[in-house]
Structure 1
């Protein structure tokens, strides 16, 4: 008797990891929020390898295929039909394919005979032998063509490489590993990053409850300095995983949004300047205006807030959307647009109670917005 067990929390965590690894950032956060999967201390997340959900599905599918084709005496049924996760499986052998072709041909010739158009009758046995010979010939021709195609591709690849190597105006350049700088330090998935507009600094936000400021070396041979760690300490309002980061236009301040609904402003030395607590659910988007004195936050709590970066105070909160607000963008220093999973877009302005514009037309949720 097996001791193998599986819980709904384990399944939920595998799904969450699959969403993260596949780039479904917003969906993964919503899923995490509803299942509370990261608050479960019984799940040892460090033991879960990348691609775990697909790995287990493939193993389960392989086991199901073996079980499906196992005879009572332990032997295996011969089957050439594909075995998929969702499609109904019907076993088939080479002989079945031949019979199918024979039946089709037989029906064809019989119909001709009925119409009086068959002048040379042959026995079914003779026709079957002929079809087998034709099939073998077709397979041989197909194999020869595939081998020829492979040789042709190999030759063309060699030529293409030679041309590219001898041509100074290459259109395609592959980045080799020696030209890549690895920034190692986060202890969980990195969700977002933002380049400082003035200095060679890169800010990153992670599921390890930290943002980090990395100094990018000028040369690949220069040593990498340890990052400045911006620790987002929990205060009982939920998980402070960092969901969004953005530098102000002058590169002096970094704003971060977190899963606990708090926005924070840091200086480039890593000192916390303000913590802004008005959203009640995770922040998914954060944008500075062009002047750098105000910034927006968009939250799952269905609201958008304009914050004053000089005081850390909320200037105005907007509650027009009926579902989580996924993204915002500025039109000018006081006017912005927001989009939501309610499929609506609102254009609003600081100081005005009602929106300037309301756009509707998308048939599914809107995840991103950009004003040019």
Structure 2
């Protein structure tokens, strides 16, 4: 005979789950820290534990304790037992005293005679038909949690020939409150899906042993879920056509890589592709390259044919490319060489191929930029934050300077046109929030440096939303969700991972958010981010080995994480490795190889 045993991990897990389910999440985080288990959901027994397990176990324990008390009383042959006392004091009787055997027999006889008389008076069509309750098929809406709900008073007389346990159950586990949007929100826990089996691995390195491209950028076409653009060092600029179904392995166990088209000229040997950017309609892709000190920008169609080329960009490389909302203006930032050359902000206009430039100065090292209007954009450099305008005459002017904190300067930007707010992340873990007048209106904080931040997409493009959410990740292992409609003093949700979070990404409809460390990816539902819905773990799969030089693994420079336009596949890449991970919302029974 085998039996389950309790140990410290199992007890801590039940308590941790209860705290999460009851929305005591800060307490749960503290317990997880003291417990020193990075991811409780990864424990081998975690997938087998049902919802609200701690309450169920305790309730059953109370029932067992009551059964022991009654058994002991029966063995003693007590006639008048003292009032029952449980763990929490005196226990009120659950039902009136049992009737004597004669009273029960008389009651049964009267009930039988009444039913016989009623049956003789009714026509056959009106007589109640005994059943097992499944004449209309199994009720698919019934969930395991329904077993814990109290049955109605008439449950035992519902005409079922075989009453279910819920019809005769005396004590039941109380059901937690349903999910609401307030601070007392309950949670629904689902099994975490393992996504490793639904992964396509793309080979970035060529057959040459000296070719080890470093992936710097990865972007899906915003309208076509099969087209994926990648760019990086060592002449890496490709437009992939990734089929929706995962290819079957070949005889040698390797999966054939999807077809791709190179987006570099034949004479650009060893070129570095420093930035890429799709237009919002997915019709064109801008690619910035640096080859032997010469910088240029090519604009390609979604099919891989060149549309136009811009040369003479000043001192390369191009730090970032940003298309304007109209898809007719392209902002490019070029950096200084630290030898007296200036950095430049250049706006290219298509299809007339005009350009306008602004000298940012020799001491201005641009890091990021965003468009904040049809002709307005903002640039940061780690020490300052400035706004610019492109006039109808094609002249760029500086229009505003943001009042940033002296402790640290902004290194990355995220703008939301729906609430007209600009988020500026700093290395000290603080995100400054500015309105359209360049006034700071909020500060969101992490304990570690901010690694990524994204505004939740709004599919219907409606500004009348009760919440405008900003997600931010940090080296401290946290993902915070902030609501710009309230304040930034405290996040409305916090998720944690076991290491520094290196990147995060929303699905295009904003329903799910993914985050990655250097070992695994977790996916949460924004409707209830209490627990991750899916997980993908880096392993030893073919094509997912870090390139090595002299036997030593290369440092991982940049982690790319981006969803396709359907929100069903996630591209994750680092160094010379790139994986396309299939995720189907609502499916949690993916088989792992």
Q: TM-score, normalised by structure 1?
A: 0.47
Q: Kindly indicate whether structure 1 or structure 2 has the higher relative contact order, using CA contacts under 8 Å at least 6 residues apart.
A: 2
Higher helix fraction (1 or 2): 1
Q: TM-score, normalised by structure 2?
A: 0.30
Higher strand fraction (1 or 2): 2
